[in-house]
Structure 1
Amino acid sequence: MASIKAQAHHQRVRIRGYDVDIRTYGAGARNVVLVHGIGASGRYFSRLVDLLAQTCTVHTLEMPGFGSAPKPSHSLDMAGFAAVNCDALRAAGIGPAQWVGHSMGCQVVTEMALLAPDLVTSVVLLSPTINRGERNAVLQGLRLAQDCLREPPAVNWMLLTDYLRAGPRWYLRTMPKMVRHRLEQRIGGVEVPVTLIRGGRDPIVPARWLQELAAARPGAVAVELPGQPHVCMFTEPARTAALLREAASGQ
């Protein structure tokens, strides 16, 4: 993805003392915004960006304290991350756009869609957390370790280095807020089309949880990618990109 990376435009948007790093790729008519999960950065979207940027304008957001974005003095809950992200997108002039979240990013994107429906055209939730049956930080850590055994080395390396960059303090300050969030109670209020995607070998997001979310948001499309782990957009980028296109065409 060297050529795409070389053409990336980076901007840091400061909102009420919080910094959001936005990297933009491609120059297509359709806008896509990608939001990472806890501890991660925009790096694990690289294969998906490579495909999407051929026809779309793709923006990866790195939320306060994660990736290259500086850590603020005060922690944020899911609604807080959402408010900062929405204000950053408005300030950067990005929108309307398809919003795509991964893992914790799904919780944030859902809150964003509730807060700023004028900025979003469709929502895609990749590997949405947190499974209601395992809403516990220790269990989530065990599931993450289990998933690491199913991810390719490149993903594990990216996540390890991203976690170290974020630091244990910021990670541990964010985790309880992630665990307390009730996605199944919030997703029903999203007005735009919703697509839910999980990997068939994702131990963090079981099939029953995806179906529960689909039931909580009538009309939502639920899709399973056979044989894929939690970071399914890295291991199956072509199918993921196709699903994003389908979601956009149905808006």
Structure 2
Amino acid sequence: MLSTTLRTVLVDGFTIRVRTTPGPENPASPRSPYVLVHGLGMTHRYFDRLRAELAADAEVHAVDLPGYGASPRPRTHLGVEDHARLVVEALSALGVASCTLVGHSMGVQFVAAAALQAPALAERVVLIGPVVDRQRRTVLQQALSLGHDTFRESPSANAIVYLDYLRTGLRWYVRQLLPMMRYPLERAVEQLHCPVLVMRGGRDPVARHRWSRELTERARDGMLVEIDGQAHVVQHSAARAVAAEIIAFATRTARRRMAVLPQASDGSPGKLEDRSA
């Protein structure tokens, strides 16, 4: 069984719960942690399988945002940028200086916004099942897609999703739905300086191929991976395959990052120069 520590972080009166699973004790190539951020109505629970797989590579933090699961419901409105700021500040409080940000569904909006707010924090960003398709940006279209997805998910995935929906409650769900519908993810992705991995299940009716391909092409350094036969909650139903792709992406981009480090006179890497305009 995984050793996991639950910590509660207060940021400006908002409660963020973070479950931390340590990585390998003596890794051959130490890597910064993975940070998992859930989507609308959800909690860390549908990341549990992925968290276990990623912990074989590095430390993993799974975040429960305010109002979700057991976290108290905020009395004030929180938009996408607000949630992103809470993620950034919570990680700072935990001493996380850099990481791989991984979001699912609405969580991709939070991690994209967090990477824009704190570029030094995000070494790379992983967008799993990204929403909302700019050509399907209505509540009805999204509701129909989610309903369709239910018939493609495993019983265990549906059980987690609907129990988390019940725990979150209809009122908080609806309050967060409108900010999600309005957030222009495609514009955020265009502004990211870090590498971006877009992932989707090959049978995901929510994050469709055309939309996922568009996001990949809009990114300055983008890559698209599709997991055949899987639906929207692909990180639960195909956790091992998803983790393998994320780890490969982290390894590849870390090597590229090291390759651009200037060399010191003794041949060791020097300090990374910020060459952004």
Deviations 1:11-69 (A, max 9, x none): 11111121110000123443100000000000011111111112311100011111222
Secondary structure in 2 aligned to 1:34? strand
1:246 aligns with 2:217: no
Aligned to 2:13: 17
Please tell me whether the aligned partners of residues 193 and 247 of structure 1 are also in contact (alpha carbons under 8 angstroms). Answer: no
**Runs of 5+ unmatched residues, structure 1:** none
What are the superposed Cα offsets for residues 209-242 of structure 1, whole Å, 9 maximum, x if unpaired? Answer: 0111112113200111111100111111111111
SS at match of 1:122: strand
Residue number in structure 1 paired with 2:267? none
Q: Does structure 1 retain, via aligned residues, the 8 Å contact 2:194–2:221?
A: no
Name the residue aligned to 2:223.
221
CA contact under 8 A between 1:124 and 1:247: conserved in structure 2? no
Q: Counterpart in 2 of 1:140? A: 142
Partner in structure 2 of residue 202 of structure 1: 204
The reply on whether 1:73 has 2:75 as its aligned counterpart is yes
Query: Which is worse superposed, 32-41 or 92-101?
Result: 92-101
Match of 2:265 in 1: none
Q: CA deviation at 1:248?
A: 0.9
Q: Secondary structure at the match of 1:55?
A: coil
**Amino acid of the structure 2 residue aligned with 1:26:** P
Whole-Å Cα distance in 2 between the matches of residues 92 and 218 of structure 1? 30
**1:95: Cα distance to partner?**
3.0
Q: Distance in 1 between matches of 2:18 and 2:144?
A: 31
Q: Aligned residue pairs: how many?
A: 247
Separation in 1, partners of 2:23, 2:240: 19
Indicate the larger mover: 149-158 or 65-74.
Answer: 65-74
Post-superposition CA distance 1:75-128 (Å, at most 9, x none): 211111000110111011123111100000001100000001111211111000
Decide whether the 8 Å contact of 2:129 with 2:200 is kept in 1: yes
What are the equivalent positions in structure 2 for 1:72-221 lying under 5 Å apart? 72-221=74-223
Which moved further from structure 2: 240-249 or 163-172? 240-249
Match of 2:266 in 1: none
CA separation in 2, counterparts of 1:59 and 1:219? Answer: 25
Amino acid at match of 2:12: R
Alignment RMSD (CA, Å): 1.0
Following TM superposition, by how much is the alpha carbon of 1:139 offset from its aligned partner in structure 2, in angstroms?
A: 1.5
Aligned to 2:65: 63
Contact map agreement 1:41 1:162 (CA 8 A) in 2: yes
**Corresponding position of 2:22:** 26
Check whether the contact 1:123–1:195 (CA below 8 A) recurs between aligned residues. yes
Structure 1 segments, 4+ long, off by >4 Å, are none
More displaced, 32-41 or 211-220? 211-220
Bigger radius of gyration:
2
SS at match of 1:56: coil
Aligned partners of 2:224 and 2:137: how far apart in 1? 21
How far does the alpha carbon of each residue in 1:170-198 deviate from its partner, in whole angstroms, 9 at most, with x for none? 00000000000000111111111110011
Identity %: 37
- CA contact under 8 A between 1:85 and 1:112: conserved in structure 2? yes
For 2:62 and 2:5, the matched residues in 1 are separated by 10
Check whether the contact 1:26–1:55 (CA below 8 A) recurs between aligned residues: no
CA distance, structure 1, for counterparts of residue 43 and residue 8 of structure 2: 14
Bigger helix share: 1
Q: Hey, what's the Cα distance between the residues in 2 that align with 1:204 and 1:174?
A: 17
